[in-house]
Amino acid sequence: MSNDTLKFFRPTGDYTTDVHLDWLGAYTRSGMAEGFKAAADRIVDSCEENAGHPDVFLYPVAFLYRHYLELQLKNIILIGAELAEEGLDPKATWGHDLKKLWATAKKAVFNVWPGGDPNELKVADVAVAEFSVLDFDGQCFRYFEDAKGNTNLKNAPRIICLGNLQSEMNAVFDLLTGIETGMRDCLSTWREERASYPPRIETN
């Protein structure tokens, strides 16, 4: 399908408002993750600014925050694999199991900072644990029922503060962004050092 035939996904010609898919370049993965969180933040902020009850907004907000978390853990895994100079298991970033993703991401973190304090990661530990209980596969905030017809979110608290959820996710965001930034700095240094090595001469 050409751009000329698109009705919903077409540009207006205003570069200040049109989306540029290639603008982020190498940081597209990070931008995608941040975009899901930013969207959730805007919904929560809107709920606090406008009259009306926020009941219906829990589902998109929680899904967006969960998806941000999933994507950001996958980002850390990918950067960590490059830093470790080892082949990444293709299955390492498959699926939606936050516990498995976080376990792999934490290994990458401690490979970079072997003397790091595990307590510094507690807010992410809690986020992964709670989202895993309520939405183990990334589908429960998206659909009222699962594929077998069972109602989702039966075990969720019946009263939830979106502002508190946002506040806790801000702490997670700060932590994971700091980790990603630190790992990218390490990766940049590693690449510069590697580029400065003299070319290897093969001998027979």
pLDDT digits (tens, 9 = 90+) for 80-119: 998 987 666 767 899 999 999 999 999 999 999 999 999 9
pLDDT grade for 1, boundaries at 50, 70 and 90 = low
Of 182, 185, 43, 148, whose CA–CA distance to 139 is shortest?
148
Query: Is the confidence at residue 190, as pLDDT, over 90?
Result: no
CA 153 – CA 145 distance, rounded (Å): 9
Of 172, 155, 179, whose CA–CA distance to 66 is shortest?
172
Matching residue, tokens 């490979």: 111
Q: State whether the Cα torsion 86-91-97-99 is positive or negative.
A: negative
Domain boundaries, the chain: 32-188
pLDDT grade for 4, boundaries at 50, 70 and 90 = confident
Helix (H) or strand (E) holding 163: helix 162-195
Angle at 180 between CA 73 and CA 175, to 5 degrees: 80
pLDDT grade for 72, boundaries at 50, 70 and 90 = very high
Calculate the CA dihedral of residues 65, 68, 74, 75 and round it to 10 degrees. Answer: -140
**What b/e readout covers 23-61, taking b as 16+ CB neighbours within 10 angstroms?**
eeeeeebbeebbebbeebbebbeebeeeeeebeebbbeb
E strands, 71-197, are none
Of 180, 173, 172, 174, whose CA–CA distance to 127 is shortest?
172
* Section 16-22 average pLDDT: 93
